[in-house]
Structure 1
Amino acid sequence: MSSIVKVIVVSPDTRSERRFDLHITVEQLKAKLELITGIPVQNQTISIEDSDGRTLGQLSDDTKQLGYYGLLNFQILKVINFTCHLIQVIDTNPSTSFTGQLSDVSQVEKFELSEEAYAQRTDTVLAYKQRHKMGRFAPPSDSPAPVPKVDISIGARCEVESAEEGLHKRGTVRFVGPTKFSATGIWVGVEYDEPIGRNDGSVQGEQYFTCRPNYGVFVRPDRLKVGDFPVEEIDFDDEEM
């Protein structure tokens, strides 16, 4: 049985697929995760989640090996940075202090202007929009705005640009066109070869294409290249983490 486990590392600023040896300790894992997430070792709290986001446990003992926690392929290691502490100050006698007085505007005299008086002014936002024919004052358009043509075919192999050096985010084009989650422009839906995406081909309840969870992503056309990109298994060398 292989001692290498493939997991998804998630932190407030990162999400990536990584490989770790089950024989390393939690302390050694934290040292590697500091280079990935930027969270100092002493501030890390690591939990194990399944693909549905359910918490299965925490890596609470730095001396234990990963194998002790039964870590499985494609489970999620969620790394949280605990550096912020809350100091709550309670006023036990508000009647003798200024508590709330700095934020209570109920006693401030307010300037009020009727809609008719506001409409007659020439120095308002409303007047500016009327002069420049903006918003609801814009003339009606006889034809909808043209949709730019994108020369990307459904089923084409592609590679999405990545900020992480050495990571090839390859997949297959599954959707090209406008979407409901964006008012302008064309989006390309990609099914990744590996579970490094953000969705299953749907966004905000609208299904644009179908794939497994965390295999789908939507990107602008200028963020990907279409070409002969064969399937390539992501392989991270421990020495480079």
Structure 2
Amino acid sequence: MLPPRITVTVFVISPDTRSERKFDLHLGVEQLKNKLELITGIPAQNQRILLLNNDTDTEEVNVLDDDSKALGFYGVRDLQFLKVIDTNPSVSFTGQLTDVSQVDKFELSDEAYAQRRDTVLAYKQRNKIGRFAEGEESKSKPIPELNIPLGSRCEVETAEEGFHKRGTVRFVGPTKFGTGEGIWVGIEYDEPIGKNDGSVQGERYFECKPKFGVFVRPDRVQIGDFPVEEIDFDDDEEI
């Protein structure tokens, strides 16, 4: 009478592969190697199989080095690791499938890219999309008049109760940053709670010290007689 089949679920790892497999504990090591060759690409005769509890272990639990023994002889348990080492990688090219350091990289200059007709750039040019758009729709919309004088004191809307972001208006107008069209208001805060020094993406719109400048939409700005307030930076939120 044949003994009952008992299987274990293990992880098989090699220089090029990692997978979860089920094996019968009565399977001989020689037969196991034949199966692992199909999984890892390492010839059976070049395999050294280590049994690990974890794939980061530096010491093996056991070494499956007797082809005549069954898998169960080595005490293999569920969720352990079978690490397959290639003793002769020059034959099977182990590790070279994942090594991209020797792969020639395709590089294309901006000029050559612009000449191609199968690119996103060419598609936008043909269909007049984005900066290639023409006609009335592509013309800049008139800038609406805003009652936000330069040099006026202001307060910027904030969601934090009791926290006032106050400063002086230093810029009102369109910018080269941001999505969509519209007007931005550049403000020099009284305290270093801003995001810039009055410049964004290399373009300067006004002068101020670093972390004192910010750009916001006009609907978040309230003009008025707002005196300078000292902020307790022990509880200051990071912006």
TM over 0.5: no
The structure with the larger Rg is 2
TM-score range, shorter chain: 0.3 to 0.5
In the superposition, the TM-score normalised over structure 1's length comes to 0.42
Task: Tell which has more relative contact order, 1 or 2 (C-alpha 8 A, sep 6+).
Answer: 1
